[in-house]
Structure 1
């Protein structure tokens, strides 16, 4: 099984090119603090043990009606080094197989989150797919996801703000959160960055960025124009961080990292104006104390996208707007160690988006930590 960091290397962006980008200035002036490997291993082990002990008798976590949580937990365990043969993981995988539908999707039969659940399930099955036993299941799920994407099959043109995006399931309004999971799931399924589905998704992602350009001519782009990302331009536009007095959609942290990561996965390189603008937004708002623009809401989701995006950029140290160099892996390990509960779990005091559920928050935390192995 390939490591998660190795999987993300498919974007083909070399670390040297990123570090040499003058306008971003990733390289540190002095060595940053190193990852405390002992601390990393200790909190990972505690988190793994918590999730193993919180598994329900039927092999799931939290509830059978939301298999996305169980798929996320399973992925987190696998990416944390727990083998697919481990009894807890094997039981979880067997149970997830029960959600495979005739249409190729992997979701609860009455679910309204079919895209989300299928995307996360693909990630879990991919991480467990040592012997190719899930090849056909993943291929069928890939086909199902393609059918959910908003495009001409739904009678819309490329100029429509729905175009290229994906929602929670069925044909709900598309948003960046679900679209970033779609892109990542398709890549895990072996879809190349220049595939039409990925490139259509990139059209949608570009329109969720507050950057007026040939890639985004929506009425929202010029009202904020700070390079960050928000939730969706579709159906009148929505930002979970709220609006400006003139109707602009405010950028916020988790979506900005999700948007930047998605662009890299879609093959956009470091010289592109969209990547440059997003990176500058991160420089101005670099923090692990909160989800910028949202406070503590969605904090663990934020940690997850933060780690994936910076790993995809292939940077070990990141310099903020003040010139301070950050070993982001070391800082993330320290922050998660500080937030971990005595029983090994993580929880968010802000209940929004289910992050008060220790299974979900702990899965996000472990996935973030899976990108924190010291740089070689």
Structure 2
């Protein structure tokens, strides 16, 4: 279709960084010894304002003068969501209003893509594009924008999996009517995998919140069911939070990506961050962290969990020199897009000798790693654990923010568990659980979530 999606994503990430910069003063961990009232100093605020002004000036130069949009491919389809991100980011900065010539052109561009069904999109990703545009247009005080927001909200409600879902012929993202017991219930999806996910759901909830939809609305009530099923904590005391099998026994508190991998693998959960070993028990042992090298195509190699397990078993069976009779091992996947394979993983073992595990793992994956340094072994006080889907940064802030927009009380167990995870994993150096993947996305949802929380500090261990 001639879409330069890579260039579009670069603009999207840059805009997200701008939005993060104007969203709030940075929330600091209390362990740093910062007073709760502290935010940016006058000097820091001045530097931030200068950075934001420079970024906005840059964005002005990237606007398509013919259409008024940003990152508009010549061949189509257009992604009005990117224009919504730019307009929203610019208008968050004091002094930039709807009367700004560039903003006005961007608003007109979005309005031109409103369809008869109320959505704001061009052929693809109707939910995502509409969510971003509704959020942006909610800050524009004109009759045309208000009417577009009203129609956009109704369209988004119709895309939510639940009793009120509307299936539209020819729309790949079309949801289906499902009951509360269905893992899809209450969520929104991009459409590519035939199931809802937390990312798209959180953007839709952002749009409903920005448009002034009351938290008592049925759309919010349905969304809470989906949100709880993506939060990795089974219960808190007598309060049941996640009723899905993949969360049984989990005490993480953070969020994963989806309740299902796709339309065929339903109810098994999905985390882009892979797995984590919880409920650690047993005697002391060792853990080997393995990072696979890149393939001939320059992309990281991946191995399926079953293959990793089988190869380790074969190594022990074929090599008599490894005198580790009765040794047990557990494989825990690292970041994974499909929940089945990964380019890095942990091998947890009952073997107490770190050098012995290094030899075993090194012998098994010698051809798959760059060097011995790609396998790091450490001793642990309890090696055995339950392998569960791993909560991670960007999704946890998305879920936490969505809870606040749904008007849950600050002492609600769902909120406090998410906040506990945030405190335990607080960092601005990476997207916890994902490294630098999705970093700007992480910054945006982090800033928006902590701004919604309203405190200048986060409690850390």
* Common fold: TM-score over 0.5: yes
1:170, CA displacement in angstroms? Answer: 9.2
Cα distance between partner residues in 2 of 1:303 and 1:274: 22
Q: Is the 8 A contact 1:79 1:127 kept in 2?
A: no
Q: Deviations over 1:5-54 (max 9, x none)?
A: 9xx9xxxxxxxxxxxxxxx9999568756431211111110111110111
Q: Which runs of 5+ in 2 are unaligned?
A: 1-18, 24-29, 165-175, 261-265, 277-331, 333-385
Matched, 1:70 2:83: yes
Alignment deviations for residues 266-314 of structure 1 (CA, whole Å, 9 cap, x no partner): 1111111111111111111111111111111111111111111111111
- Please state how far the C-alpha of 1:73 moved relative to its aligned partner: 1.1
2:253 is aligned to 227
TM superposition outliers: structure 1 runs of 4+ over 6 Å:
24-27
Q: Partner of 1:43 in structure 2? A: 51
TM value normalised by structure 2: 0.61
Partner of 2:317: none
In the alignment, the residues of structure 2 paired with residue 166 and residue 225 of structure 1 have an alpha-carbon distance, to the nearest angstrom, of 26
Which residue of 2 is the match for residue 150 of structure 1? 161
In structure 2, the residue matched to 1:242 is: 274
Question: Which secondary structure state, in structure 1, belongs to the residue aligned with residue 254 of structure 2?
Answer: coil
Q: Answer 1 or 2: which has greater strand percent.
A: 2
Q: Secondary structure at the match of 2:458?
A: strand
Question: Which residues of structure 1 form unaligned runs of 5+?
Answer: 9-23, 322-376
Does structure 1 retain, via aligned residues, the 8 Å contact 2:38–2:456?
Answer: no
Q: Which has the higher helix share?
A: 1
Aligned residues: 298
SS at match of 2:248: helix
CA contact (8 A) 1:106 1:117 kept: yes
Matches within 5 A, 1:122-161: 122-128=134-140, 130-153=141-164, 154-161=176-183
| Alignment check: 8 A CA contact 1:74 1:93 kept | yes
2:36–2:457: 8 Å Cα contact kept in structure 1?
no
Q: Which has the larger radius of gyration?
A: 2
Matched, 1:265 2:405: yes
Counterparts of residues 1-376 of structure 1 (less than 5 Å): 32=38, 34-35=40-41, 36-57=44-65, 58-64=67-73, 65-81=78-94, 82-108=96-122, 110-111=123-124, 113-128=125-140, 130-153=141-164, 154-169=176-191, 172-213=194-235, 214-222=240-248, 224-234=250-260, 235=266, 236-244=268-276, 245=332, 248-321=388-461
Checking the alignment, whether the CA contact within 8 Å between 2:36 and 2:455 is kept in structure 1 is no
Question: How far 1:247 moved relative to its partner?
Answer: 5.4
Instruction: Judge conservation of contact 1:101–1:107 (CA < 8 Å) in 2.
Output: yes
Q: Distance in 2 between matches of 1:310 and 1:43?
A: 21
How far apart in 1 are the matches of 2:224 and 2:138? 23
Summarize deviations over 1:187-231 as a string: whole Å, max 9, x none.
Answer: 222210111101100110111000102231101213543101010
User: For the aligned residues, what is the CA RMSD?
Assistant: 2.5
Q: Is the CA contact (8 Å cut-off) linking 1:237 and 1:249 kept in structure 2?
A: yes
Describe the SS at the equivalent of 2:157.
helix
- The worse-fitting range, judged by mean Cα deviation, of 153-162 and 43-52 is 153-162
**Pair 30,147 (structure 1): closer, same or farther in 2 beyond 3 Å:** closer
Q: For residues 26 and 268 of structure 1, what CA distance do their matches in structure 2 show?
A: 28
The offset of 1:123, in angstroms, is 1.1
